Amino acid sequence: MRATSIFVSSIAILAATLGFQQLSVLAAPVASPSDLDWIHASDPFSLLLEARALVGGEFIGFHGTNGANANAYQAQARRGGGIPVPPAFNGADAELGPGIYVTDDITVAQFFATSSASANQNRGNRQGGANVATICVVTANNQNDWRTRIPKVWVPVNEIAKSVNGRNDPAKLALQERRIAAAHGTPTNTVRFSALDVNDPNSTRTGNQLVIPSGVQNQFSIQVCVPVSGSVNQLPAQLHTPAFPQFNYQQMRVPWHIV
């Protein structure tokens, strides 16, 4: 019970920081192993080793979603890689444009996983684990391509397209596209990064985000997903990857060639 209360408190703080006030964090249930066909019931973290087995690849972060999307992602990975575009709301609010949203902070991934699953739960959609909050591990298929060939830009906080009248600010999205053009990229092939806390972009309390657009989603894979629970905080250790703030997109701007 104590672990649950700590998790709920952390999500509530994050929701306030990111400007989400109405999310019901308990609406998305934690699944039992029998609910999820993509989890090894005896040891879900045994699957994490598979993410390390992608020869020449590189871990780039965590993606919060629902169980139905997680199934689709992993099915695509088994067919040879790439990430399919989710069919509906996926937890994020698209302030960097459309695509698959990834974060360096597992707490942020938990928040968006709960948001996505809660939306389905509130609509009565339980098909394929659609109401189960799930965190996925995102890997670039080829480290060299990720670091040197896929265009990347860092979007400053004054260009983040927060919601205006129910949609992402088109003027801010236009500014982002100008920044992408200046970096010799296009909106569909350029990965956009930004801080999540617009009031304190260098904060070590809340991490950063990136979005993988449709034109390069075939260069990434999601092989491993686990349902949100207290044990999800073990993910960074199981991946031998430091947790945020040690693993921090802002510190990867030089090695990842983010302009």
In degrees, rounded to 5, the angle at the alpha carbon of residue 201 between the alpha carbons of residues 133 and 144 is 70
- Domains in the chain and their CATH numbers? 2-252 (3.90.175)
d(CA 116, CA 109): 11
The token duo for 84 is 């399919």
pTM: 0.80
CA distances from 1 to 8, 31, 44, 112 (A): 11, 16, 21, 22
The token duo for 73 is 């992602």
The token duo for 202 is 């260098």
Q: Give burial (CB, 10 Å; 0-12/13-18/19+) of 119.
A: buried
**pLDDT value of residue 48:** 44
Cis peptide before 87 (omega within 30 of 0): no
Residues with Cβ within 8 Å of 155's Cβ and at least 6 positions away in sequence, in order, are 96, 176, 179, 192, 193, 194
Q: pLDDT per residue over 137-192, tens digit each?
A: 999 999 999 999 999 999 999 999 998 888 899 999 999 999 999 999 999 999 99
Q: pLDDT per residue over 34-61, tens digit each?
A: 444 444 333 444 444 444 444 579 999 9
Q: pLDDT per residue over 73-101, tens digit each?
A: 999 999 988 998 765 445 457 899 999 99
* Residue with the larger pLDDT of the pair 15 and 162: 162
The CA dihedral of 145, 146, 150, 155, to the nearest 10 degrees, is -160
d(CA 244, CA 208): 9
